[in-house]
Every structure is written in C-alpha cells, then in structure tokens.
Amino acid sequence: MNDILSTVEWSRAQFALTAMYHWLFVPLTIGLSLIVAIMESIYVRTGKQRWKSITKFWMTLFGINFACGVATGIILEFEFGTNWSNYSWFVGDIFGAPLAIEGIVAFFMEATFVAVMFFGWNKVSRRFHLASTWLVAVGVSLSALWILVANAWMQSPVGMKFDPEQMRNVMDNFWALVLSPVAINKFFHAVTSGWILAGVFVIGVSSWLLWRKRNVEVARDSIKVGAWVGLVGILLTMYTGDGSAVQVAKVQPMKLAAMEGLYDGKIGQELVGFGLVNTDKQPGDSLPAIHGEISIPYGLSVLANHDPNTFVPGINDLIAGVALTPQGDTINTVSYAERIAMGRQARAALADFDAARKGGDSIAMKEALTRIDANYEFFGYGFLDKPEDAVPNVPMTFYAFRIMVMIGTYLLLLALVAIVATRWRTSWLEKRWFHFVGIASIPLVWICSQAGWVLAEVGRQPWAIQNLMPTNAAISSIPASSVQFTFWLFAVLFTLMLAAEMSIMLRYINRVSKTDMLNNPKL
C-alpha cells in the first residue's frame, strides 16, 4: 500500500514537473506568434523595411521557444500511457479524441507553414508569406484549443456515457465536449493570457535594448505592439477569468472554497483580499481559517454568481451536502460520506456485473446494471477513505489565486504605462526606471502564468477526472522507484533545455544589442 501511495505522489510530481516546464514555453509561443503576425502585417501594409527587420528579430525568438515547447509537449502526452495507464484505459476514447485532432490538424498546420515562415523570405510573395505567418499563429491557438478541451473535460466531464461491457467511458456527444462552458472559458483564458506574457516579454526585451541605447527605433516600435497586445490580452483575460470563476462555482465548488480558504459559507460572502492561511485548520474544527484577513464585502458572492446576495458554500458545507444549483439556489444534496458509500456500491455493482457477464447470468447483469446507474454519478468517491480526502491543498490553492490576481493587476498597469510612454510621454522611454520595470516584469509574468496553472490543477485534487476518478485510481502499476528515477532524469533534462533556450535567446539578444539591426540583413 505504501508503494502504491508513493507511486501516486511521484507520478503526480513528475506530471506537474513536465506540465510546468511545458507551460514555460507554450504561452510565449501563443502570444509571440500573434505579435510576429501583427508586425509582418504592418511591414506588408507599409512596405517599410524596418518592420521586416523587427519581424525577423522576434520571429527568431519565437522559433527558439517553439522548438522547446514541442519537445516538452510530446513527453507530457506520453506520460498518460506510461504513468497513468488506468486513466488512459478508463477514458481514452474521450480524452484521446481532442489530442488526436490536435496532432493531425493543428500541429500539422504549424509544422507545414512554420517552414515557409522562416525560410520563405524572398522565395514566396509577401502576401503568401504573411498568410503563412498568420496560419502558424492560428495553428498554435488551435493546438491550445484541443489540449484545453481535453483538460476542461477532466475538470467537468460531459458528452460521455459509461459502458459496463467495456468497463470504460465512451464518447456519445463530441460537441458537448468541445462546446462545454468550461472548455470555452479555459481556452480563451489561456490564449489571452499568452498574449499578456508575450506582450510583457516584448516590453522587457525592448527595455533592455533601450537600456543599452542600441536599436532604439526598433525597441520603441516593438513596445508599441507589445503594449497593445498585452493590454488587450489582460482585459480579455480578466473577462474570461470572471467566466471561469462562475463555472468553477457550478462544477467545482470545492475548488472555489479552497481558493478562499472558506470553510463555512454564507449569503453575501466576502472575498479575501489579504490574509494568511491557518495551516492547522481542518474541516469541522473551530480554528480560524485565515489570520489577518482583509476582505471585500460581498466579493465572493459577486465573483461566483454575479449576485451579492447569494450563498456560497464552504468546505464544511460541501462535505455536509449543502450545495448551489446552476440557477444559484441553495439545496441540500448528497453529503460526501454518502457519496463515498454510493461510489463503493457502484464499484461493487460493477464487479457483480462483470462476474454475471462471465457466467452468462442475464438477470444478475440487469440487476447489477440498475445499481451501477443509480450510483455511478459518484463512482470516483468510492476510492476515497474519508470525506476530507476530497479537499484540495487549501494553502497552495489560496496563495496561487492571490499571486495570479496581484501580479495580473500589476501587469495591467504596466501595459497602460507602456502605451502612455509610446504615445504621449515618450521621454519615459529614456528613463532608467522604465527600463528596470520592463526588464523586471519578465519573470513576474511567468510567475503569474504558472500560478494560474497551479490554481487550476491543484485546486481540483484529488481528482484526475472530477467525481469519477481520483489520482490514486488512475496510475499505472509500476514501482515508485521507476517513477522517482524518471522524475529526476526529466528534472535534469528540462532544466538543461530551459538553460539552453535562455542562453541562446540571451546571446542572440545581446548580439542584436551590439549591432544596427536595421542595416544588418543577417539578423
């Protein structure tokens, strides 16, 4: 048993490691592909050669990052088969469909037109080259779409039914999967957050060029594009983030409660603006949940339901069976203890169905199938030992949400300052404080991006598939030592890959900072 638990923890750690390294590259790829396409569009429209030089500079940085993202993404998908084979068997027909479409359609589009984008200068017409660049940007976003559809399905499983004959779930409504509100919000939230990250990256790198007093014209023009893309991105991210919060309140209320460190909900629930989580707090005890709390009145009720007078359930409420309907009504539903009992009944009925099927007993099969249908909604709870096992890591979820929001607010101000600097206060672009702020914002935007993914994934624990399969039932039957070995192997390889990417980018940027980019066609 201890080895199984160790395998679960090491498998989770390995997947988190791979996903977080992969997410270092993905948002920059998404956002920079759009920025490059916009810059080349300006070049084609105006015919000014400086915009061609600017486009090629950022395109080179895009290419370096794109290659690293592909490498980590492939390993991430392989881990579903190596470390999470029970998960792959249980829902492979559903989860595999968007991944297959991503590989066949979106990645094929990227791979085809990225060659024209990089090597087609002076070999194809300007408009065809521009079209190829835009198609790469579209392909990158389409790749994100199908990956995020798959991830959203794990957060809110729809468009499927359970087939007891195969003992697995099968898809019965593809469009329910693709068009679920969770998937739509997650896609636009992730893509527009990539615009923010790339916009800040462009501002930061351009600030370095201004600091060095090299290619000043290039840096100023780049900041104009980066600031506007970043501003539009952060406004849309805030809008889609609001939609995501509403969906979380509907389909993952325990995640919302963990985000707020909320144990006992109420009507007109406030939103914690600042506070320290009491790590000793446990469901059902009388200890305070948050120390030094500073709250926004009615904030969480507005965030979750767009109504200041609605009830938001806390962790204790949810465990006891108090919930909120999609219409915003408070109801008494199935407690977590009852869900565990029903989940175990569903597992027992499934075993009885399998035995009856092998024995050819159709009456027993029918009786077992009735029991499965009655209890399957909470099938995954049958793998939990106690109700508290369904509570995610509250401190990590709580702090990840606040880090994301606080840095996001700062990035909004940064984009506005950059726009003002390029339009009305051009002298700011010569100030050291502006250069320092731009450069220092590069690591901050990545921290914000990573915090968003920590919130999304840690907040839904212990579920691999919400309510249907916890992580301890999704793993492969492999020794913990094997996973531990590959964890450290990947940690070393990914760190070396990241260090190589940063080294190549910094050397290229440094070379450009010493050269007149507009009069050097080799750049």
Over residues 366-371, mean pLDDT: 90
The predicted pLDDT at position 32 comes to: 94
- Count the Cβ atoms, other than its own, within 10 Å of residue 282: 12
Q: Give the ranges where 252-298 is alpha helix by DSSP (H).
A: 253-260
Q: What is the pLDDT of residues 311-326, one digit of tens each?
A: 889 999 999 888 765 5
Unique residue bearing structure tokens 């068009």 = 179
Q: Cα torsion at 23, 25, 26, 30 (round to 10°)?
A: 150
**What values do phi and psi take at 276, rounded to 5?**
-115, 130
Contact 19, 441 (CB under 8 A): no
Would you say residue 3 has pLDDT above 70?
no
pLDDT, position 329: 60
Per-residue pLDDT band for 1 (boundaries 50, 70, 90) equals very low
| pLDDT digits 0-9 by tens, 186-228 | 999 999 999 999 999 999 999 998 888 878 888 889 999 999 9
Q: Which of 117-121, 271-275, 323-327, 343-347 has the lowest mean pLDDT?
A: 323-327
Give alpha helix (H) positions in 102-125. Answer: 107-119
Q: State pTM to two decimals.
A: 0.90
- Does residue 306 have a pLDDT over 70? yes
Helix (H, G, I), strand (E, B) or coil at 177: helix
pLDDT, one tens digit per residue, over 127-176 is 998 999 999 999 888 888 888 888 899 898 988 888 888 888 888 888 98
pLDDT of residue 470: 92
Structure tokens at 237: 């991210």
DSSP characters for 322-359?
Answer: EEE-TTS-EEE---HHHHHHHHHHHHHHHHHHHHHHHH
Among the listed ranges 9-13, 155-159, 325-329, which one has the minimum average pLDDT value?
325-329
- Residue 2 pLDDT greater than 50, yes or no: no
Using CA of residue 331, residue 337, residue 340, residue 346, what is the dihedral sign?
A: negative
497-516 pLDDT, tens digit each: 889 888 988 888 888 766 76
Query: Which tokens is 164 given?
Result: 């007891």
Residue 2: burial class (beta carbons within 10 Å; 0-12, 13-18, 19+): exposed
- Taking the C-alpha atoms of residue 521 and residue 197, their distance in angstroms, rounded to an integer, is 28
Look at residue 98 and tell me whether its pLDDT is greater than 50. Answer: yes
429-487: per-residue pLDDT in tens? Answer: 888 999 999 999 999 999 999 999 999 999 998 999 988 899 988 888 888 888 889 89
Three-state DSSP string of 415-436: HHHHHHHHHCCHHHHHCHHHHH
- Mean of the pLDDT values across residues 109-116? 81
Contacts of residue 434, defined as CB under 8 A and 6 or more positions apart, other chains included, come to: 207, 210, 417, 421, 428
Task: Please check the confidence at residue 234 and state whether its pLDDT lies above 90.
Answer: yes
Burial of 329 (0-12, 13-18, 19+ CB in 10 A): exposed
